[in-house]
Amino acid sequence: MSSIEINCLTSILRGMEMYIFIIILGIVADRATKLLSISKLKGNESVTVIKDFFSFEYVENKGAAFGILQGRQYILSIMSAIMILAIIYYLIKYKPSSKLLKTSLALVISGAIGNLIDRLYYNYVVDFISLHYKDIYYFPNFNVADMLVVVGTVLLSFYIIKDVK
């Protein structure tokens, strides 16, 4: 790399260190919990944490949220990659000043990358968190990457609502 390329890269990344850290931390937390889930839960009974409410149960999700688009890993992978690249492009081009906006997008990016890694490596997403009410209602299983995307989206919603006023 030439010094001009390094200076250009440095200017792009300046002020983004905390958000890059959030992305990396999110990916590491997601991967670690999924690998633990694979080693401890795959092929075994679920582990009850709170009876009739919360357990860990290994699931191979070959679709998207709530099991939609089953078996369409290529489409989901392409859509995820496009979304990740679009957010990164937005952050680099427009250099938003809002910490809330940058944090929300960093969380969404980390969660999207976490699930994209699964889709590319396993051809499914590892889900292992199960919330349910007795045997009456089971919320679809999810993982840390899903939580990162949801929290990031909620924060993004707060930013949009705050910005509109």
What average pLDDT score do residues 49-60 get? 95
Confidence of residue 165 (pLDDT cuts 50, 70, 90): low
Q: Is residue 164 over pLDDT 70? A: no
Instruction: Name the phi and psi angles at 56, rounded to 5.
Output: -105, 125
DSSP character string of 51-78: TTTEEEEEEEE-SSGGG-STT-HHHHHH
* Residue bearing the bigger pLDDT, 135 or 83: 83
**Among 75, 65, 55, residue whose Cα is nearest residue 140:** 65
Q: Is residue 66 over pLDDT 70? A: no
> Active site residue: 52, 118, 146, 163, which one?
146
Confidence of residue 9 (pLDDT cuts 50, 70, 90): low
What average pLDDT score do residues 109-114 get? 98
How crowded is residue 100: how many other Cβ atoms within 10 Å of its Cβ?
14
pLDDT on residue 78: 94
What average pLDDT score do residues 49-69 get? 88
First to last CA, the chain: 45
Angle between helices 99-121 and 17-40 (to 10 degrees): 40
> Active site residue: 30, 127, 135, 163, which one?
127
Q: Is residue 156 over pLDDT 90? A: yes
Model confidence over 12-40: pLDDT tens digits? 667 789 999 999 999 999 999 999 999 99
pLDDT on residue 109: 98
- Catalytic, 52? Answer no
- In angstroms, the Cα distances linking 16 to 3, 30, 39 are 20, 21, 35
How crowded is residue 159: how many other Cβ atoms within 10 Å of its Cβ?
19
Contact 43, 53 (CB under 8 A): no
Pseudo-torsion of CA 127, 104, 85, 119, nearest 10°?
A: 0
- Catalytic, 118? Answer no
Q: Is residue 69 over pLDDT 90? A: no
> 69 — alpha (psi -120 to 50), left (phi > 0) or beta?
left
pLDDT on residue 73: 83
**To the nearest whole number, what is the mean pLDDT of the chain?**
91
What average pLDDT score do residues 94-116 get? 96
